[in-house]
Structure 1
Amino acid sequence: MKQSGVTLLELMVVLAVSAILLGIGIPGFAAFTRNSHLTSAANELLSSLHLARSEAIKRSSRVVVCTSVTGTSCAVGGGWHQGWLVFHDANNNAVVDSGETVIQARQAFQAGLRLTGNTLVSKYISYAPSGASKLTSGAFQAGTLTLCSESDGSGSGRQIVISSTGRPRTAKVTLASCP
C-alpha cells in the first residue's frame, strides 16, 4: 500500500522558501501602499480643484476651495490635510457666508499625512468666472501644495501645482523633510 503526503523535510523547505519570499516582498509592498496613499490623497484635492474651476466657469461666478476643519466654514488655522470646502463665493471674500452654496466638503486625511500650501495658497484657492485662479484682491493666484507622510522617512511626496491660469497638476517629488 502506497501512502501519500509530505515529509517533514519537504514541509520545512517550503516554509523556508515562503519565509524568504515574504521577507523580500514585504518592504516593496509597504512602499507600494505608502505611494498609493499619497497618490490617492493628491488626487482627492486635484479632483476638488477641477470641480471648483469648472463650477466657476459654469456658474460664471467665483468659486473657492478653502481649508476647513468643521466641513461648514473655512478654517483660520491648520492645513489642507484637515479637510476642505468647495463653495460658491457670491461676495468674493473667501469665507462661507449665509446664503452661499457649499458644493463639496471633504474630510481630513488619514493620520500621518500632511498637506500644506505656500503663501498664496495656504488657506484658499479662488477661481474667477474665467477659470483663472485669483486672490480676493484680483491679483493672480499661483502656488504649490506639498503632500507628504509625517511618519515616512523615504522623502517621497506629491505636489499639487496651481499655475497662474488656475490649472492644477500633480508632480512626484523627493523631500528632505515633511514641512
Structure 2
Amino acid sequence: MKVCSFGKQLQGFTLIELMVTISIAAVLLVIGIPSFVAFQRSSELTSAANSFVAALGAARGEAMKRGLQAVVVPLANNDWATGWTVFVDTDHNQQFNGSDILVQQQSALPSYFAATGQGTAQLDPAYIMFNPSGYTQTSGSVFQSATLKIERNDISGAEKIQQTRIVVIAKTGRARACQPATDTTCTTSASQ
C-alpha cells in the first residue's frame, strides 16, 4: 500500500484486477446478448399475433352487439403483413367502403414478418367474417375455420420454427394464438 505525502493511503484497482473484471463482463455479454435477441424476437412475434387475436375479438364482439356481419380484411393486396381493417359490413360485400362502420385498423407489421392465411383468409379477396351469432363463416354462409401464420422472413431453419406463430380461428369464432414449436395442435390446418 502506498502512502501519499499527506499521510493518507492511496486506494484503487490494480491492472490485473481491472482486466479480470473486464473479462468477466465480456463473458457475460457474450452469453447474454443472444438470449436477449431471441427474447426480443419472440416478444415482437407474440405481440403481432396477439394484436390479430384482439382484432378478431373486436370483430366478433361488434357482430354480436350490432346483429350484423363484421369482417377483418388485409389493408392491401391480400397481404396480411400490410395490416388489417376491422369493420361492420353493412352492405355484405366483405370489402371496406364508405357505408361500413370502421371498428379498428392495424398498421403494417415490420418488414421482416410474413403473414399467410388459410381458409377464407387466403381467398382473393381475403377476409375473416363473423355472423351476428359470433361464428365464422364464408360469404356463402358456410361455417368455416381459418388460420393465419405469422413468421419472420429474415431467418431460416430451426430458428424460423421457433419464430413462428399461428392464429387459429374456430368455426365457433374462438381465436387463439399458438406456437408450432411447442404445441403439436398448432398447425395451419387446425380448426380448434
Both proteins in one fold, TM over 0.5: yes
- On the 8 A contact 1:143/1:162 being kept in 2, the answer is yes
- On the 8 A contact 1:46/1:160 being kept in 2, the answer is yes
Alpha-carbon distance in 2 for matches of 1:160, 1:89: 22
Q: Percent identity?
A: 37
Alpha-carbon distance in 2 for matches of 1:172, 1:79: 21
- On the 8 A contact 1:65/1:86 being kept in 2, the answer is yes
Match of 1:150 in 2: 153
- Report the AA paired with residue 134 of structure 1: Q
Q: Structure 1 residues 35-44 or 113-122, which shifts more?
A: 113-122
Alpha-carbon distance in 2 for matches of 1:97, 1:14: 63
Instruction: Give the deviation of 1:141 after TM superposition.
Output: 2.2
Match of 1:16 in 2: 23
- Report the AA paired with residue 59 of structure 1: R
Instruction: Give the deviation of 1:98 after TM superposition.
Output: 2.4
Match of 1:138 in 2: 141
Q: Structure 1 residues 147-156 or 41-50, which shifts more?
A: 147-156
What is the CA RMSD across the aligned residues, in angstroms?
1.4
TM-score computed with the length of structure 1 as normaliser:
0.90
Instruction: Give the deviation of 1:101 after TM superposition.
Output: 1.3
Pairwise mapping of residues 1-179 of structure 1 onto structure 2 (< 5 A)?
1=3, 2-69=9-76, 77-122=77-122, 123-153=126-156, 154=159, 155-156=161-162, 157-174=164-181
Unaligned runs of 5+ in 1: 70-76, 175-179
Unaligned runs of 5+ in 2: 4-8, 182-192
Describe the superposition over 1:25-61 as per-residue Cα deviations: whole angstroms up to 9, x where unpaired: 1111111011001100000100000000001000011
Q: Structure 1 residues 113-122 or 34-43, which shifts more?
A: 113-122
Secondary structure at the counterpart of residue 81 of structure 1? strand
TM-score computed with the length of structure 2 as normaliser:
0.84
Alpha-carbon distance in 2 for matches of 1:6, 1:46: 55
